[in-house]
Structure 1
Amino acid sequence: MPHIDSATRDRIRELNDAFRKTFERSKGLPVLTAGVASLPSDVRAMAIRKVATFDAFDQENDPHGEHDFGAFDLAGERFFWKIDYYDQKMEYGSEDPADPTKTTRVLTLMLAEEY
């Protein structure tokens, strides 16, 4: 990853947290993999809540300080979630993830076995 200054990293983290905590469609696109979508609705809802309230960021899962990945266990399953940055047309990677006018955030919630 190219070096980015701390203000840019802070802005990316702020945008990621705002989307992750609300799943607001205006802030990004939430995606559930087939494995997560096939879980019972109560487990699915609990998993989404775990993503929204996730705060176990550390050097191992967040080396760049962007709050763009997490992992947790729930109902006997291991889950991963990650945020990727695309351009507005969803064709290429975003040229500036710190700029929401140039970026579509995609948060994918998956079973670890689907990774």
Structure 2
Amino acid sequence: MSEALAQTRPSTTERIAALNDRARLSLDRTARTILTMNLLDSLSDGKRSNDILAQARVMKAMRECTFSKDSPERDMAWFEVDDVKVMMKIDYYDADFEYGSQDPANAAETRRAITLMKPEDY
């Protein structure tokens, strides 16, 4: 491989970060997003319409969140929604969501699960 080609090819970390961004932005149809009941209960009164609005606020905040330098793969973040601290964690699974992925940089074999929770749920 030529040196110029090697320099233009993204690193594994950059590839994982880009795939995580696609999942966070709901552009990856294979990804799953999970909100813990504890988080939802903190943001809604339990009425179905308010639950849906709370989920929408969390999703919006997740799509707009920023990442610290200690999360180069952009797989973990903290942000607030309605003064409630939210933790986002992305985990990598095989195509059946049964086992961990062997290669999170390979979109063909990896499925992402985004969990949104209160820090004490972790």
- Please confirm whether the aligned pair reaches a TM-score higher than 0.5, indicating the same fold: yes
Structure 2 portions without partners, runs of 5+: 1-9, 45-50
Match of 1:14 in 2: 18
Q: Which protein is bigger by CA-based radius of gyration?
A: 2
**Where is the helix percentage greater, Structure 1 or Structure 2?**
2
Match of 1:33 in 2: 36
| Paired residue total | 106
Kindly state the Cα deviation for residue 43 of structure 1 after the two structures are TM-superposed: 3.3
* 1:14 to 1:27, Cα distance in 2 relative to 1, 3 A: farther
Whether the 8 Å CA contact 1:43–1:75 is kept in 2: the answer is no
Matched, 1:86 2:97: no
| Runs of at least 4 residues off by over 6 Å | none
3-state SS of 2:21 partner: helix
Q: What CA deviation, in whole Å up to 9, does each residue of 1:70-114 have, x standing for no partner? A: 101222311101100011122211000011111110000111221
Please list, as runs of the form range in 1=range in 2, the aligned pairs for 1:1-115 lying within 5 A after superposition.
Answer: 7-22=11-26, 24=27, 26-38=29-41, 39-40=43-44, 41=51, 42-55=53-66, 57-60=67-70, 62=71, 65-115=72-122
Structure 1 portions without partners, runs of 5+: 1-5
Q: Percent identity?
A: 33
Distance 1:7 1:59 in 2: 16
